[in-house]
Amino acid sequence: MSSDEKLTVAQVGLGYWGRNLARNFDDLTDLRWLCDASAERQEEFAERYPDARVTGDFAEVLADDDVDAVVIATPVPTHHPLAKAALEAGKHVFVEKPPAMRVAEMEELVGLAEAGGLVLMPGHLLLYHPGVQKLKELVDSGELGDVLVVYGNRQNLGVIRKDENALWSLGVHDLSVILLLIQEEIVEASAHGHAFLTEGVEDVVFCYLRFASGKIAHMHLSWLDPHKMRRLTVVGRDKMAVFDDMELAHKVTVYDKAPEQASDSYGEWRTRTGDTFSPKISNAEPLKLECQHFIRLVSDGWNGREMRDGLEVVRALELLTESLNGS
Ligand SMILES: NC(=O)c1ccc[n+]([C@@H]2O[C@H](COP(=O)([O-])OP(=O)(O)OC[C@H]3O[C@@H](n4cnc5c(N)ncnc54)[C@H](O)[C@@H]3O)[C@@H](O)[C@H]2O)c1
């Protein structure tokens, strides 16, 4: 593909989330194929996107040499086989999170992408949210001081999934951000939870992570909760910051607040409280930014950071799942 040509894209999976991806890729690329196992979805999308070809046969999509990239928005257990087939067919791949349910499977995908010089980008939407990018900027600039604790709240009495538990469905978002902010090896991972509604599918999960330097992280993940929360809190040694996706105007708040020992206090701790402020956050649609990022990776060449970060997320999910299953 030359820089002034549009990327030719095929999308598989046209459900609840797939329709948002199709809208963006239709705006930004030449959306050539739409594929879904359901005849009803095929009919609906054929009407909505008359310029695209619609099929239920993924092999037909992969056989088209004009297709540069494949977007995968099917249920999680199908991600690995579909992404593997697309990479083997020489296509760049954008795959919804997480691309695989096992570290070994994710390593296989990374190996295929590396061998073929192909982009493999997991759809970790939150990483493209301007509010999360502001948190990253606050951490990297040193404004918060040394980061001590990061914790996430992702709760809601909402869509109750039957094929993914709260860790895999909700936790994957927070994990991607926690690992972005604390770029260290996980040395301890534990998770406790319970399946109250569907046997074997935990609706409520509490996770704890400890990193190599002693920083810690926590996640409360649940769809059995009265509060709708989409919040990440970063406790730095000098300041603290909160990203709250439920807030319309103040997505990020920085608290100039920290414990300190005055020189005349004989070692006692007290709290220093200064200003609280909300930096301006762009209201650009994170999903559009994410799709644009994928297109840039394909057209400008790329170093593989996104897929290696995705591998670390799957590694953390696997560690937490082992703990959850033993609890
Ligand atoms: N990034 C986000 O914020 C976000 C939000 C919601 C969902 N998701 C992810 O998007 C993916 C899809 O979720 P959803 O809620 O849209 O699910 P969904 O069940 O609404 O849609 C899945 C679609 O895939 C089709 N499908 C299943 N297997 C297929 C196959 N082998 N070949 C072709 N089509 C197949 C189904 O017919 C269905 O239309 C999941 O991985 C989910 O984790 C991401």
Q: What is the architecture of the domain spanning 130-283?
A: 2-Layer Sandwich (3.30)
Atom of ligand 1 nearest to the CA of 36: 34
Distance 14 CA to ligand 1 centre (A): 7
Cβ–Cβ < 8 Å for 85, 62: yes
pLDDT tens, residue by residue, 150-170: 999 999 987 777 778 999 999
Give residue 199's pLDDT band: very low, low, confident or very high (50, 70, 90): very high
- The rounded distance, in Å, linking the Cα atoms of 252 and 179 is 19
Q: How far is the CA of 72 from the centre of ligand 1 (A)?
A: 8
Instruction: Name residue 35's beta-bridge partners.
Output: 12, 55
The pLDDT assigned to 140 comes to 97
For ligand 1, whether the C-beta of 222 sits within 6 Å is no
Going by CA atoms, what residue is nearest to atom 27 of ligand 1? 74
For 275, the enclosing helix (H) or strand (E) is strand 270-277
pLDDT at 269 over 90: no
Are residues 206 and 192 in contact, defined by beta-carbon separation less than 8 angstroms?
A: yes
Average pLDDT score over the chain: 95
Can you name the CATH fold of 8-123? Rossmann fold (3.40.50)
Per-residue pLDDT of 113-138, as tens digits, reads: 999 999 999 999 999 999 999 999 99
For residues 178 and 215, the answer to whether their CB atoms sit within 8 Å is no
DSSP for 130-183 reads HHHHHHHHHHHTTTT-SEEEEEEEEE-S----SSS-HIIIIIHHHHHHHHHHS-
pLDDT tens, position by position, 61-94: 999 999 999 999 999 999 999 999 999 999 999 9
- For 161, 167, 229, 323, 325, the CA distances from 202, given in Å and listed in that order, are 10, 8, 18, 13, 10
- CB neighbourhood size of 98 (10 A): 27
Confidence of residue 260 (pLDDT cuts 50, 70, 90): confident
Q: Give me Rg for the CA atoms of the chain.
A: 21
Ligand 1 contact via 78 beta carbon (within 6 Å): yes
pLDDT at position 241: 98
Query: Under DSSP, is residue 46 helix (H, G, I), strand (E, B) or coil?
Result: helix
* Bigger pLDDT: 226 vs 301: 226
Shortest-distance atom of ligand 1 to CA 19: 16
pLDDT in tens, 42-66: 999 999 999 999 999 999 999 999 9
